[in-house]
Amino acid sequence: MSIIAVIGTLDSKGLEHDFVAAEIRKRGHDVLLIDLGTGDAPSTKPDITRYEVAAAAGLDLQPLLDRHDRGECVVAMSQAAPVLLEKLAREGRIDGVISLGGGGGTALATAAMRALPIGFPKLMVSTLASGNTAHYLGTKDIAMMPAIVDVAGLNRISRMVFTRAAAAICGMVEAEIETAESKPIIAASMFGNTTECINHAKEVLENAGYEVLVFHATGAGGKAMEDLIASGMVSGVLDVTTTEWADELVGGTLTAGPTRLDAAAKAGIPAVIAPGCLDMVNFGARETVPSAFEGRTFYIHNPQVTLMRTNAEECAQLGKIIAEKANASTAPVTILIPQKGISVISTEGQPFHDAAADAALFDALHQHATVPIITLAEIINSPVFAKAAAKQLLRNIELAEKR
């Protein structure tokens, strides 16, 4: 019998969570009712109390409750709930999770859900589901269902929505995922300017028996790739499009944050890294580019996207960052440099061709890297470079397996 965690602030939403729990039980599943509330006493009896939730993260909740600081209590619970939920899932004590809530309840419950691995059934019924949900979802596969009416009491509409939600989480838990013929996974980063490189490399890797999952290096894509690598599901990383670091350094719109390139190093996953598209920083429409960058070289990718060429000083910094990230790895990692062009528009005769900036980037990589570097007199999208990157990754994976 599957066990579904029903989590939420049971002091104010206990009736609604009880209703969903009853609907889940009707469908033959067991329920673990978990209280995340910090206000009045819960209006229904939980299986795991708020005190036990806090204790999972080593927190003593009572002193916080005694201070009557709601913000402090919610912050503490948002830190503790992910610890508890991850532990329950890891130990096989729950098979899915569902919650109902408004603004506070959604923030609290989705914080806990983000601690769960990709593929684990998670459903949030929220009054905020029709708006911008990016900060609730992060990079995880949380399904969000509009509550339509306020999550406060039961009525004709809410009963219908909550019943469907209960059925949905039961269906997610019951779904059988075919994994018998699953191949080992390689994560790869791609941009429009490196598409051909990935297409050529993908063919080599697939012929070697791997499944290649491609992530678009748009900030969210890089974060999702890092999360997947950290999950332990990945056998190798073909990170040929490290462009998100240009946005992180210079202040563009597609940054994946300062931890980009950390996951493979920390998890000891073999990798090949290339400075793909480090020639460009992404902004919105031309008129949105900060005035501080006037006088720089720009390329209008489309009416909504303006690219700015990184200069020699920025490229030197980027080379140092990429090298240091690679150096941190405990697994075999190699840096490959496409000497004749790191993007389609940086090759000779193209708008972003800048020999001095490229030289600063490549020199910094050589100066700071302690891992092997291979330089090829190729553009990044050439079949020669792409196949060399793929074959080097296969060698790195083989080296790691022999250790």
Query: What pLDDT, on a 0 to 100 scale, did the predictor assign at position 180?
Result: 59
33 and 50 in contact (C-beta within 8 Å)?
Answer: no
Q: What length is written for the chain?
A: 403
Residue 403's identity, in one-letter code, is R
Helix %, strand %, coil % of the chain (to 5): 45, 20, 35
The residue type found at 28 is: G
Write phi, then psi, for 385 (nearest 5 degrees). -65, -45
Q: How far is CA 324 from the centre of its chain?
A: 22
What DSSP designation does 372 have? -
Please state, as a whole number, how many other Cβ atoms lie within 10 Å of the Cβ of residue 385. Answer: 27
pLDDT digits (tens, 9 = 90+) for 253-291: 999 999 999 999 999 999 999 999 999 999 999 999 999
pLDDT mean across residues, the chain: 95
Number of Cβ within 10 Å of residue 201's Cβ equals 28
pLDDT at 43: 84
Indicate the pLDDT class of residue 10, thresholds 50, 70 and 90: very high
| Beta-bridge mates of residue 302 | 305
CA nearest neighbour of 245 among 361, 374, 375, 377: 361
Long-range contact set of residues 384-387: C-beta below 8 Å, sequence gap at least 24: 385/197, 385/336, 385/338, 386/196, 386/197, 386/198, 386/199, 386/200, 386/201, 386/204, 387/200, 387/201, 387/204
Please report the pLDDT score of residue 1 as a whole number: 80
- Looking at residue 188, its amino acid is A
Interior angle at CA 237, CA 380 and CA 283, nearest 5: 55
- pLDDT band for position 131 (cuts 50, 70, 90): confident
d(CA 13, CA 106): 12
**Domains contained in the chain, CATH given:** 3-174 (3.40.50.12020), 185-402 (3.40.50.12030)
Under the phi-then-psi rule, with left for phi > 0, alpha for psi from -120 to 50, and beta for the rest, what region is 400? alpha
Tell me 253's DSSP state.
S
Which distant-in-sequence residues (6+ apart) come within 8 Å of 71 by Cβ?
Answer: none
Task: Convert the pLDDT of each residue in 104-116 to its tens digit.
Answer: 899 999 999 999 9
Residue 41, Cβ neighbours under 10 Å: how many? 10
Residue for token pair 């609290």: 108
What's residue 118's pLDDT?
A: 86
Amino acid at 47: D
Share of the chain above pLDDT 70, in %: 99
